[in-house]
Amino acid sequence: MIFLKTDDEIELLRQSNLLVGKTLAEIAKVIKPGVTTKELDKVAEEFIRDNGAVPTFKGFPNPNGAPFPASICTSVNEQVVHGIPGDVVLKDGDIVSVDCGTYMNGFCGDSAYTFCVGEVAEDVRNLLKVTKEALYIGIQNAVQGKRLGDIGYAIQQHCESNSYGVVREFVGHGIGKDMHEDPQVPNYGKRGYGTLLKKGLCIAIEPMITLGNRQIVMEQDGWTVRTKDRKCAAHFEHTIAVGAAGADILSSFDFVEEVLGDKAI
């Protein structure tokens, strides 16, 4: 069932999502070669809790295994999504997608940003650039009267025209009082098909794009998803509210990019 949000509910969603953006900025301050992904997780959890929220990812149930053990997902290089923070030491040339969720005032926030660690190869930087562009192209299509397929089509066309793979098995989602609500929001599709977009629909749009082909595998931990060919993957995510004249982006990369400066993608 799809729940359209009132203006007041959208403002509560915005508060949770802006906290995610600020949390990602705290992570941006400490990402560098030599840092472990567990250290990033500690920074995130402390910041979220210090701001009166709880990390929605921690303890999130897995139907096939143990609940998620951390407050953020850290997916390094060929890992696409849901990487578990641990003793992995980031090194120069790595990329790491950091996906973060918060719960505050009864509503969820969800956003992701893929960071460069040190000096990253040009072809990988371009993957990040195109993936981020695809996110905003998708958002441009999140307008009342269009359909979900229009969002997916726009993302797919932009990425495939740059010869990148578009992951099919994992998709964006509705968001509100629960982190995952209806509808699912694929990063591929046909124009004019799928659920009709209405004012007040709040969704997380999150392209997951690969440097090689789109095949993925699940690691033995039951969470981490990586590319089958072990080529890099990028992931950017915003939570938005569909409007009559355009999408209202509830999350923000501004805090992150203020920290990164000219190193931002």
Q: In whole angstroms, give the CA distance from residue 20 to residue 6.
A: 21
Q: In whole angstroms, give the CA distance from residue 45 to residue 243.
A: 32
**Residue of 165, 205, 186, 168 whose CA lies nearest to 78:** 165
Give the three-class secondary structure for 136: helix
One digit per residue, pLDDT tens: the chain, 265 residues? 999 999 999 999 999 999 999 999 999 999 999 999 999 999 999 999 999 999 999 999 998 889 999 999 999 999 999 999 999 999 999 999 999 999 999 999 999 999 999 999 999 999 999 999 999 999 999 999 999 999 999 999 999 999 999 999 999 999 999 999 999 999 999 999 999 999 999 999 999 999 999 999 999 999 999 999 999 999 999 999 999 999 999 999 999 999 999 999 9
Q: In whole angstroms, give the CA distance from residue 24 to residue 242.
A: 24
Q: CB of 187 within 8 A of CB of 141?
A: no
- The pLDDT assigned to 108 comes to 98
Q: In whole angstroms, give the CA distance from residue 225 to residue 74.
A: 11
Q: DSSP H helical segments within the chain, as ranges? A: 7-30, 37-50, 122-140, 148-160, 254-260
Contacts with 13 (C-beta within 8 Å, 6 or more apart), sequence order: 5, 107, 108, 109, 175, 176, 202, 239, 241, 250
> Which domains, ranges and CATH numbers included, belong to the chain?
7-263 (3.90.230.10)
Give the three-class secondary structure for 205: strand
Residue 255 token pair: 């805090």
Residue environment code for 105-134, b if the CB has 16+ CB neighbours within 10 A, otherwise e: eebbbbbbbbbbbeebeeebebbbebbbbb
Q: In whole angstroms, give the CA distance from residue 101 to residue 81.
A: 14
- The pLDDT assigned to 64 comes to 81
H or E element in which residue 149 lies: helix 148-160
- The pLDDT assigned to 112 comes to 98
Phi and psi, residue 132, nearest 5°: -65, -40
Residue 201 token pair: 């629909």
Q: In whole angstroms, give the CA distance from residue 45 to residue 261.
A: 24
- The pLDDT assigned to 63 comes to 83
Q: In whole angstroms, give the CA distance from residue 99 to residue 101.
A: 7
Q: In whole angstroms, give the CA distance from residue 255 to residue 183.
A: 28
Q: Compute the 3-state secondary structure of the chain and give helix, strand, coil in percent, each to the nearest 5.
A: 30, 25, 45
* CA angle (20, 29, 224) in 5-degree steps: 60
